[in-house]
Structure 1
């Protein structure tokens, strides 16, 4: 997909004067807070039978939210100089943040429902530090959407000389975008069951707080189901679970990923936009990209699907800011990975680069298979023996029936193991319930960690860990032959590990 987008906003000089956040935040911030408290207010006012104290509590909460929003707007200032971004906040406790512009790695634009109603966006600037969430970079919540887009271009551009006129006029290129056919992968993520469980817990807690009796109707329904024939009970239960999981997963998928679009911007950034109610736009400078990770949960892998994440500096480990592609066909994930990892010096858009994530991987030695089969089967056999001695006869038979499934899982875990080395990337794959394949730039590797457990030493295996300043910070090649793993590390980053190596026999 190479559809052209409108040209990005032109580069503008830094905002050297101090500025307030948009005045519309006086409405938007309380609105966003109150939207989340709507169920509570409904319970207090409607179901509270008009009791005076409930009304007073509701009014007090609303007044406090409005007052806090006003104080935040009055006490917040920001400015952008040629060297840094500065933010001053607080009334009783003043907080001053300053982020050097040459340390900015990412710019994240987020617009909740209230922001969108008033044309605003919140800007989060990421610096790639390994601090607690909220301490990495700074957040401007919020400015107008047009100003947010202008600041995005400004913050990701170190100097005017890096934004020539030709680049400013060049339109962005779409690498991938929303496809309605991807909805078929939503039920394979099981997000619907998670959402249904969370909603059920919220409703039950809400009902308990308001003294609403819900257990009696549920008990009557459960009693009716139990009284039915076993086949009908199982069919009804399975049908309800399947229906809830399917509808819930599709709903969650649409809310999270509606309008998804991945583009390469003229300012040499990769930009991901998505979201139905809350829109999000994350821009990552291509020079900060260190690789791509393909994630294939078991059910999604069975449906030949996957989702992709970036390995980049400037994005925290938590949250979904590193999302590159939502659950989609695995072929699309490979194609997107190839487009994103294409060298920026390659200016031929018609070229179809091969995806590093499609590189054939080297199998790990049989000792790795033995380790997985032992860990999958032996614990169940031991448990079955204990149950056969101390528990009723049928319990150990149930445990033994699980052995073939556990053995199949161990075999799949072994089949998922693999590694490879290309001219530019280190490839590593592992996992069964969630199989992860990472393509890590060799130039982004800053160190190696070699680890061997007692059982690995007896089997002649090691785990080679590549450390990097991006993504999770460490990526593992698990249970590889000792000499093979050390050779892999030495070839991936020449001269980094070699001074510590001694010649030895081959595997």
Structure 2
């Protein structure tokens, strides 16, 4: 691997514009953003009596103008200790990222960015919900910035000064191999078999339907006056409603399947997870059309989360994500913290072992939470199932009396769900980690480093108090910032909290937990 050249620092900390090539990107992005409204204006204008199609052109021009304005009002600069971004016309906003607090660097390139040799760099510090995004650096600048913020500065901080450089001199290229790279995982094309069991197909289908409905609404489309729609309804009546519904269901299933396969390839093609030992980072690169490269500091990783949704678990699959500081927002964490895409569960467990440095942590024997926790799983599931059963039974009876038997389906599904949730529930406390597992439809195994737990709280709802159960919530600066060990008995909860933070509960040991 050849290290990127150091980022060229501007003289006297001057404010600089992003690449002029963004004058081609911003207008396109704004036009796509307002495309449903523009399409609606074009269709509405062309079908009106006056033929006022020019309203659509005005809308397109405004969208393009906003894109150009964004470039003219955005500047950035590097100082000795900060990266700063300033944007806005009437209300100027300045976002800063202290260099010594950078935790993650995310480099993304869409298709248009790649054609123009550009990239977007998102810098995460973990300080607040605002992220610093430099959208418009060249790919060389983006790679150099990532290297500068994480690899080089970590190396210098650790005392590993490159040969020929003096301490504090960051203008000297690092020798090849300074940030030596170890490959942990590479995508196996056979893993595409897990694609239909993830949510990507449904999400893509919902997005297509949503955009289509928005365009139809903006255009003032009336299905009662459309001959194609009416012909389709007549055809459905001729072949029978049930046959038409079956055809629609099969067609929708095939669409979701194709979208799932396509989405998997678009998101994860070229997936590669590497460790840079000297730089102290994990690097994830992936993407077919839009490429994304995320760099995480290993010293900021507090644990991992093994995600086993029910559909994926049934075919032996799982995902793995890092629990780390520096990522804000659920969407950002889901995308940037991923360590293993949908893949065989053995692969995900193996990567977890290498990231944590402790073998078998995700497979450790879990302590069960007892009969009261099992009863709570069944009571909650069956209560919801009973409500659905009544609704399904009444709806089925109104259609035809024999359809009332569908009420059995929610009850049976609830019982199966409760049993699976009861089997999944458990926790373990090892020498270095806390392991907690719960859930069924979205089963997750959280592995948190004991050193990363900064607070513990015990919570008991009214129904938990009646059942003699307590939820232990561990506070950490990483990931979701709170992780639960659900429905354990009071003595177990107190012992767990005392093991994690021995002096934390001392002032309250003589008081009842509320």
TM-score > 0.5 by shorter chain: yes
Matched, 1:174 2:172: no
Cα–Cα, structure 1 residues 90 and 454, in superposed 2: closer, same or farther, change >3 Å? closer
The Cα shift of 1:463 comes to 0.3
The Cα shift of 1:318 comes to 2.2
State which drifts further: 211-220 or 114-123: 211-220
State which drifts further: 70-79 or 495-504: 495-504
SS at match of 1:128: coil
1:339 is matched with which residue? 354
Cα–Cα, structure 1 residues 396 and 485, in superposed 2: closer, same or farther, change >3 Å? farther
For these two proteins, the number of residue pairs brought into alignment is 485
The Cα shift of 1:222 comes to 5.2
Distance 1:383 1:207 in 2: 33
SS at match of 2:90: coil
Candidates 99, 102, 117, aligned match of 1:101 = 99
SS at match of 1:200: helix
Distance 2:262 2:409 in 1: 37
Matched, 1:87 2:85: yes
Candidates 185, 196, 202, aligned match of 1:187 = 196
Candidates 121, 125, 128, aligned match of 2:126 = 128
Please tell me the root mean square deviation across aligned C-alpha atoms, in Å: 3.3
The Cα offsets for residues 270-324 of structure 1, whole Å up to 9 and x where unpaired, read as 1212222222111111111111111111111101111111111111132122222
1:329 is matched with which residue? 344
Cα–Cα, structure 1 residues 446 and 161, in superposed 2: closer, same or farther, change >3 Å? closer
The Cα offsets for residues 351-392 of structure 1, whole Å up to 9 and x where unpaired, read as xx5142122211111111111111222455577689999987
State which drifts further: 371-380 or 100-109: 371-380
Candidates 443, 448, 455, aligned match of 1:435 = 443
TM-score, normalization by structure 1: 0.85
Matches within 5 A, 1:341-420: 341-342=356-357, 354-378=359-383, 380-381=385-386, 397-420=405-428
Could you list the runs of 5+ residues in structure 1 that have no partner in the other structure? 1-5, 343-352
Matched, 1:34 2:31: yes
TM-score, normalization by structure 2: 0.84
The Cα shift of 1:138 comes to 1.3
Matches within 5 A, 1:36-435: 36=33, 49=46, 56-131=54-129, 135=130, 137-156=131-150, 157-158=152-153, 160-162=156-158, 164-165=161-162, 169-170=176-177, 171-210=180-219, 217-218=228-229, 220-221=231-232, 224-225=235-236, 227-228=238-239, 236-265=247-276, 266-319=278-331, 320-342=335-357, 354-378=359-383, 380-381=385-386, 397-435=405-443
2:167 is matched with which residue? none
Cα–Cα, structure 1 residues 267 and 91, in superposed 2: closer, same or farther, change >3 Å? same
Distance 1:147 1:388 in 2: 63
- Is the 8 Å Cα contact of residues 270 and 284 (structure 1) preserved in structure 2? yes
State which drifts further: 398-407 or 297-306: 398-407
Cα–Cα, structure 1 residues 308 and 362, in superposed 2: closer, same or farther, change >3 Å? same
SS at match of 2:13: coil
The Cα shift of 1:180 comes to 1.1
Cα–Cα, structure 1 residues 389 and 364, in superposed 2: closer, same or farther, change >3 Å? same
- Is the 8 Å Cα contact of residues 442 and 493 (structure 1) preserved in structure 2? no
The Cα shift of 1:29 comes to 1.6
Matched, 1:465 2:476: no
Cα–Cα, structure 1 residues 267 and 388, in superposed 2: closer, same or farther, change >3 Å? closer
- Is the 8 Å Cα contact of residues 26 and 68 (structure 2) preserved in structure 1? no
Cα–Cα, structure 1 residues 378 and 110, in superposed 2: closer, same or farther, change >3 Å? closer
- Is the 8 Å Cα contact of residues 26 and 70 (structure 1) preserved in structure 2? yes
Distance 2:316 2:241 in 1: 34
- Is the 8 Å Cα contact of residues 307 and 328 (structure 1) preserved in structure 2? yes
